[in-house]
Amino acid sequence: MTLLQNMQKKITAEGAKKEKMFDQYMCYCQNADGTLGKSISDAETKIPQVTSAIEEGAATKKQLEAELKDAQKARVEAKDAIAEAEGIRAKEAKAFAKTKADADSNIGALDKAIPAIEKGMSGAFLQTSAASVLRQISLNADMNNEDREALASFLSDGNTYAPKSGEIVGILKTMHDEMSKDLADATAEENSAIASFDSLVASKKKEIEALTKAIESKTARVGELGVKIAQMENDLEDTKEGLAQDKKFLADLDKNCELKKKEWAAYKEMEAQEMVALADTIKILNSDDALELFKKTLPGAASSFMQVQVTSGAMRQRALSMLKAAHAKKADPRLELIEMSMRKMGFGKIIKMIDNLVTELKAEQGIDNDKKSYCLAEIDKAEDKKKGLELDVSDLNKAIEDSKESISTLASEIAALEDGIKKLDKQVAEATAQRKEEHDDFVETLAQNTAAKDILGFAKNRLNKFYNPKMYKAPPKREVAMAQTGAAPPPPPEANLAYKKSGEESNGVLAMIDTLVADIDKENQTMEVDEKDAQADYETFMSDSSAKRAEDSKAITDKSAAKAETEGQLESDTDTKKSKMLEAMETAKYLGGLHEECDWLLQNFDARKAARSGEIDALGKAKAVLSGADYSLVQMSSVHLRGSQ
């Protein structure tokens, strides 16, 4: 009776304990489901965002690559344009050199012919090499037929053609003037072509320099974008893998929670059945006859039935984690000094002063020319450098903002993953502790059930000895040495103590004992199956948790490496930006200094040059007058001796 009553108490206590475990598991199911749902929702929200960022980065990279290709093509075209211009310039220079050489030869011949004819030395002249040149000119020069015939006759007849020497001199002077003009025009055209060539080359070189810088910048950005896209693709892969793990985790969790509910319902049903069976047994065993019988068969009565427990499958644990004129018009005091000196000094000294002043004015103009070239070149160079630095700073600002955003995102994702791992480790520890507790309960209950079976077997065998001797199994015999007295003991006295057995009542007790033993066997089988299932569930949970932890740890490692690399790039870009900004400030300061030094000269250069030219011209005329020339008597005329062409 004590055994059965203790069994009732233990079943009740075990039921309360199992109910607490069931409530804890259900609480875990509810909370874990919410955590997993949020993790899955966050991952499903993040995946399209990262995918979109990858597509945007790829599109930007493709555009940069196209721009890079265009810049490279434009640079090649600019270099080809310079090469082509150099070829054309070489041909033009060669043609001009030939034209100039021919013109110099022809003009030289005319310079010798005209004075010789005017002095009546035409016969001697015709014997010189210059006359041969003149003959060639008479054949090739562009003139009317009459002049050509007159010149040809002169060159053929020699001295006999003297009466017409004046006409010949006129023809030759006309030819001299025209050739001189043609040479001057050709020289001007050549100078203009040189200037155009120099301007084109300078422009193309500047274009090439700008394109080279753009190519370098875009190449660097393409590389940076490639690294960033690779990082985002790696992050996307990690997020997708984590989502799959979370969904699998959630699917297993729902299945296990439903299984636990069913197991709990079955447990309560079996508990109720067992309590009924025990109550019935107590009722049976509580009878007077049963008590009397137990007194006789189990006199030690120190044993008791152990707690019987219907154990459900092991509880599963789930967890997750979560990532940039001329001169100012005023009287020249040197001119005023010359005017004063003219009243006191001789013309020789005045002429010398004029010559000195002209030399000084030309030297000053040379200085202005050099300063203008220097200023234009330096200002252009400084402005280009300033624009380039401003563009670099702008690009660096964008890169720095991108890096900061990436670092912030990576830091939050790493923190979420680390928090998820902590939670997962805690859940693994709880699951391990619970599995150990369940296993210990199983071992303890199994041992208790085995002990109960042994006791019931002993009780049944004891009852059989009394009620069913044929079914009684005697214990192993023990040999006891008899005292050596030299004679056998006397036979026992006769005693007829027949007792009428209560066979009917014993059968009920025996049947009850058999039922209890069968129930214990059945319970042991159920417990062994449940223990096996619980262990399998626990191993599946541990495998899933291990895979999840490894995946999250790998994601943390990848994101930490990407974060460190991005932080290094951020530090490098920040230092570069500071350097570029400082350089830009120095360039702006230098450019301001150039403007302070050069702007006045550049604005007044033409006026200063014109004023000096006027002064030099006036000084030349003054010198000529002082030397004996009278400009008021000079008549400027142009005599045309050639007919229409």
User: Crossing angle for the helix pair 2-118 and 129-140, nearest 10 degrees?
Assistant: 110
- pLDDT at res. 131: 67
- For residue 582, give the nearest of 594, 572, 590 by alpha carbon: 590
Using the 8-state DSSP alphabet, how is residue 126 labeled?
T
- pLDDT at res. 128: 64
Which residues, including other chains, have CB under 8 Å from residue 540's CB and lie 6 or more apart? 252, 316
Q: DSSP labels for 194-227?
A: HHHHHHHHHHHHHHHHHHHHHHHHHHHHHHHHHH
How far is the C-alpha of 574 from the C-alpha of 580, rounded, in Å? 10
The owner of tokens 């049976």 is 284
Q: Are 316 and 537 in contact (CB under 8 A)?
A: yes
Length of the chain counted residue by residue: 645
| Least reliable range by pLDDT among 25-29, 52-56, 439-443 | 25-29
3-state helix, strand, coil in the chain (%, to 5): 85, 0, 15
How far is the C-alpha of 565 from the C-alpha of 553, rounded, in Å? 18
Tokens of 551: 């995946």
How far is the C-alpha of 555 from the C-alpha of 246, rounded, in Å? 14
- Which domains does the chain possess? 290-295+332-470+503-631 (1.10.287.950)
The owner of tokens 């050549």 is 190
Burial class (CB in 10 A: 0-12, 13-18, 19+), 335: middle
Indicate whether 548 pLDDT > 70: yes
Summarize pLDDT for 560-619 with one digit per residue, the tens: 888 888 988 889 889 998 998 998 898 898 889 889 888 898 898 898 888 888 778 877
Q: DSSP labels for 413-458?
A: HHHHHHHHHHHHHHHHHHHHHHHHHHHHHHHHHHHHHHHHHHHHHH
How far is the C-alpha of 599 from the C-alpha of 605, rounded, in Å? 10
The owner of tokens 């702007």 is 599
Burial class (CB in 10 A: 0-12, 13-18, 19+), 440: exposed
**452-480: average pLDDT:** 69
- For residue 308, give the nearest of 641, 11, 528 by alpha carbon: 11
| Least reliable range by pLDDT among 26-40, 50-64, 548-562, 563-577 | 26-40
Q: Are 336 and 562 in contact (CB under 8 A)?
A: no
Written in H, E and C, the secondary structure of 351-397 is HHHHHHHHHHHHHHHHHHHHHHHHHHHHHHHHHHHHHHHHHHHHHHH
| Least reliable range by pLDDT among 274-288, 309-323, 530-544 | 309-323
| Neighbour count for residue 29 (Cβ, 10 Å) | 20
How far is the C-alpha of 104 from the C-alpha of 394, rounded, in Å? 60
Summarize pLDDT for 155-211 with one digit per residue, the tens: 665 545 444 567 777 877 888 888 889 889 999 999 999 999 999 999 999 999 999
Tokens of 195: 């200037």
Using the 8-state DSSP alphabet, how is residue 329 labeled?
S
Number of H helices, E strands in the chain: 9, 0
Amino acid at 450: T
Q: DSSP labels for 251-287?
A: HHHHHHHHHHHHHHHHHHHHHHHHHHHHHHHHHHHTS
Summarize pLDDT for 359-390 with one digit per residue, the tens: 888 888 888 888 888 899 989 998 998 899 98
How far is the C-alpha of 198 from the C-alpha of 200, rounded, in Å? 5
- pLDDT at res. 631: 44
| Least reliable range by pLDDT among 331-335, 378-382, 487-491, 523-527 | 487-491
Q: Are 179 and 107 in contact (CB under 8 A)?
A: yes
